[in-house]
Amino acid sequence: MNNAKHVLSRVFGFSSYRPYQEEIIAAILDGRDLFAALPTGGGKSLCYQLPAMILPKVVVVVSPLIALMEDQVAGARQYGVPAAYLNSTLDEVGLRRTYRALFAGDIRLLYVSPERIAIPEFRERLSEIGVALFAVDEAHCISEWGHEFRPEYRTLTVLRHDFPDVPIAAFTATATQAVQDDVVNQLSLHQPLLVRGNFDRAEIFYRVRTKSRVNEQILQFVRDHGDEPGIVYRATRKATEETAGHLMEAGIAARPYHAGLPDTVRNVNQRAFVRDETRAIVATIAFGMGIDKSNVRWVVHGDLPRSVEAFYQETGRAGRDGEDADTSLFFGPGDVAKIRYHIDRMEVAKERERAERNLRDVLRFVDAGVCRRTLLLRHFGQEHDGNCGRCDVCTGETTTEDCSMAAQKLLSAVKRTGEWFGRHYIADVLVGEETEQVLTRGHHRLPTFGVGNDRQREWWVRLAADMEAAGLLARRDGERSGLTITERGAAVLFGRESFRTSITPGGPSGRTARTGRTTRAGVKDGSDAAASAHSAQPALWRDDQEALFQCLRALRKALARSAGVPPYVVFSDKTLKAIVRNRPENRAALLRINGIGEHKAERYGTDVLRLVREFLASGECPGDG
């Protein structure tokens, strides 16, 4: 791996790997199959771009969209990686030129679509050229269990048959355990290395709000973010057009994107956004996969997302560079009604059941009164103990009350009834409802029967839902499903932890609860932890630093326009901020900036160093005034 580390520094300009990258790259160089689920911004592309500079044959990357191929090839070339793509945008001259370069060994990285892989003649050509690795990007598309299943991805099952000795590496940013197992099976991966990264996107702030005049709410959110670029997701084409029009009327540079627009218009609008020529893109779910833009600073959902996975991936398009990003989800009862309308009209039972399950999971996320991350990460099999300091719950944007005593009553009722019953039955016991089932089982004689009659039955049902979302209760699977007390629930039951939830006139809103740890000094109410986490921010960004950053952004845009690539491909926002903080004076200092390798230093170093030098001398952008 010494050679790999040399390439990492010399070509890509990084002094160290991100989590899991070194392990993945080592497996690829050893010729192993692998499945890697790394969050957006986790550096998946480096895992196959770097080996392409070392392996003796071409690395073939399967990519779902033309725009994604083009941007990734442009990005690889900026680092000096000999990369190309084969897709329908190439004419005969371009195709012949690319094939000549492939056979001559002049291309190390080749991007193709799954549809092209399906062509037997193309696979024969690949056999003649020689392939070192197949890297399947957006691998969740191969699974019917995934939220973006694409039938054309099923053709990739031929790879193992036609190339039995060529390793296959599957990459995705979103995969539940079921999706992972399906992908491994469909691609016939042989004893693969399995990597599941940390799905916690700590740089993203999550917020949920009730929908009311949503176009005005979205406009205010966008205005609050100055000139930062972002994405607005709407559920329908009509809503997309209305929101885009509303933003444009208010003076915001915005463009719509949905499947009803002509291909040329969609492509122009996407390119304008990717190249920082428009500030906001307002889109349906038709927009997203294939967006490699690293400096998206915010994402808004104007409607309820169709699944937790979709929400995670869509919000994950913000902050790919690791810098802080903001999100907000607006929803209301009308969203649920529309989704149920479509579910009721699904003819295939399997699809209807999946849609129902997705809706339940999304509602649990927006309704549950816990740290947003707790539920979001649990969906991917990862635990989080709350108090993240990066969501509306944990930063005190919502008001909470200590409901520890009520939680203890509910947990006691669960315990005394044998941990076999659901929320509604437990609520009956707590309010003292003498139902036939309660009387038959003798639960009216329990000490907990009626101890909660000072609250409405629905109050206890919602509190139980909050506690389940917080991980105090878990759902028992099997013939008699019901709630069981977790280790964390036991800590609340016996007073070692507290439990907080937001309270409305009808009881817990189910939207903003959280737990807090107790200490020997007493109960920490959760809000203190949130305040502490929220205050642990980097040093303030000074006015002169912001001015230099804006100068560098302008230079980046000019350099990108000259090179014919998106600005983020030249330098990420993170790299620009590192330049601002370090203010390099020479090429050696510039090469110490993360993200600047030899090729970029050679191509752009003179312009960057000149700008920094002139700014430090005058305090202004060169050419200003």
Q: How far apart are CA 594 and CA 600, in angstroms?
A: 11
What phi, psi does 409 have (nearest 5°)? -60, -45
Q: Which CATH number fits domain 204-333+361-367: 3.60.21.10, 3.40.50.300, 1.10.3470.10, 3.40.50.1110?
A: 3.40.50.300
Helix, strand, or coil (residue 195): strand
Who wins on pLDDT, 380 or 535? 380
Helix, strand, or coil (residue 446): coil
The pair of structure tokens assigned to 443 is: 């639960």
pLDDT at 1: 62
Q: How far apart are CA 357 and CA 309, in angstroms?
A: 12
Residues facing 256 on adjacent strands = 282
What phi, psi does 405 have (nearest 5°)? -65, -45
How much is the average pLDDT of 440-458? 94
The CATH code that applies to domain 401-535 is: 1.10.10.10
pLDDT at 506: 37
H or E element at residue 204: strand 204-205
Q: Where are the beta strands (DSSP E) in 332-471?
A: 401-402
CA Rg, the chain, in Å? 27
pLDDT tens track for 577-606: 999 999 999 999 999 999 999 999 999 999
pLDDT tier, 452 (very low <50, low <70, confident <90, very high otherwise): very high
Q: Which fold has domain 2-196?
A: Rossmann fold (3.40.50)
Q: Is 54 exposed, middle or buried (0-12, 13-18, 19+ CB in 10 A)?
A: middle
Give the CA count within 13 Å in the CB-facing half-sphere of 401. Answer: 13
Sheet holding 58-62, edge to edge: 83-86, 109-112, 58-62, 131-136, 168-172, 34-37, 193-196
pLDDT tens track for 88-137: 889 999 999 999 999 999 999 999 999 999 999 999 999 999 999 999 99
Q: How far apart are CA 594 and CA 621, in angstroms?
A: 23
Who wins on pLDDT, 360 or 481? 360
Who wins on pLDDT, 239 or 499? 239
| Matching fold, domains 2-196 and 543-618 | no
- With a CB cutoff of 8 Å and minimum separation 6, the contacts of 89 are 66, 70
pLDDT at 534: 34
Q: How far apart are CA 141 and CA 138, in angstroms?
A: 6
Q: Is 576 exposed, middle or buried (0-12, 13-18, 19+ CB in 10 A)?
A: buried
pLDDT tens track for 502-554: 644 333 333 333 344 332 222 233 333 333 333 333 444 788 999 999 999 99
pLDDT at 533: 33
> Interhelix angle for 543-563 vs 573-582, to 10°?
130
Which CATH class name applies to 543-618?
mainly alpha
Q: How far apart are CA 151 and CA 160, in angstroms?
A: 18
Percent of the chain predicted with pLDDT > 90:
63
Q: How far apart are CA 614 and CA 211, in angstroms?
A: 49
The mean predicted confidence, pLDDT, of the chain is: 87
Which single residue is written with the structure tokens 């998946």? 44
pLDDT at 399: 67
List Cα–Cα distances, 587 to 568, 590, 599, in angstroms: 21, 5, 12
Q: How far apart are CA 355 and CA 362, in angstroms?
A: 11
- Residues 188, 52 contacting (CB under 8 angstroms): no
Q: Is the pTM of this model over 0.85?
A: no
Domains in the chain: boundaries: 2-196, 204-333+361-367, 401-535, 543-618
Who wins on pLDDT, 117 or 174? 117
70-74 contacts: CB < 8 A, separation 24 or more? 71/274, 71/290, 71/292, 71/566, 71/569, 72/45, 72/111, 72/292, 73/109, 73/111, 74/564, 74/565, 74/566, 74/569
Residues making up the chain, counted from first to last: 625
Write a three-state SS string for 71-96.
Answer: HHHHHHHHCCCCEEEECCCCCHHHHH
Taking alpha carbons only, the member of 30, 28, 34 closest to residue 187 is: 34
Which single residue is written with the structure tokens 């000999």? 82
How much is the average pLDDT of 461-471? 81
pLDDT tens track for 551-575: 999 999 999 999 999 999 999 999 9
